[in-house]
Amino acid sequence: MPRHAQQRVSTRPRRSAWAVVIGGIGELLLTAGALVLLFVVYILWGTGIQTARAQDALEDELGTQWEQLAPDAPAPDPDALAEGDAYGILRIPRFGDDWEFTIVQGVQPDDLARGPGHYPNTANPGELGNVGIAAHRSGHAEPFADFPQLRVGDTIEIEMADGTYVYQLDDAPDGDSDGNRIDISDVWVVDPVPGEPRDTEPTEQRITLTTCWPRFGSSHRMYATGTLVSGPSG
């Protein structure tokens, strides 16, 4: 064998089968980690872009609805809205002076991907009963990311075609990350009179906000409730 060929012969020991397996597992873990990171980026950033675009469309839709009203015409009936339609405007001062989202009618996944949703078959702002509003805490612009920071006494504003309705919370997480946590099946919180049979006649004008718990999961729900303190008629 020529001398230069001999110099190319490797003297390193071959990797054992176990080392090959460990190396393969390591590569798989690195790949899995990269995929998880990409998924997290999509949830926090990618879905937010989609929701921002949907919010722009809902805002335009709502503006068109309201601009078409005659000066003395009665406000449109929210019950006539189809799921997916623009419903109203939600403001929660606790989340910031510029925090504002257009509400969509409906709480199905496709609805909540566009913004906070109004539970169909719950009251409309100003009516006797319970206005139900749900929104995401993570992804899709995370409207309710700071939900645990809601406190008793905070105000919730909903602007409709006929004016703005203001509710004041009388039950809230009060800064507790586990506060007001309920099972995912506890839909009684959006009943006309929470905690009472669904056919109980309501005597108050209430609101209930719901969201997911934990923030990056959906095994449970969190809620906050309040009563109407002012509306367009005083």
pLDDT for residue 222 is more than 80: yes
Write out pLDDT tens, residues 176-208. 999 999 999 999 999 999 999 989 999 999 999
Domains of the chain: 46-230 (2.40.260.10)
Q: By three-state DSSP, how is residue 24 classified?
A: helix
**Is 118 annotated in the active site?**
no
Provide the 10 A C-beta neighbour count for residue 208. Answer: 23
- What is the C-alpha separation between 200 and 94, in angstroms, rounded? 32
Residue 4: active-site member: no
Query: Closest Cα partner for 206 from 132, 120, 154, 143?
Result: 132
pLDDT bracket for residue 69 (50, 70, 90)? confident
The one catalytic residue in 4, 136, 140, 220 is 136
DSSP codes, 92-160? -GGG-TT--EEEEE--SHHHHTTS-EEPTTSPPTTSSEEEEEE--SSSTT-TTTTGGG--TT-EEEEEE
- Assess contact for 103 and 118: CB atoms under 8 A: yes
According to DSSP, residue 80 is labeled G
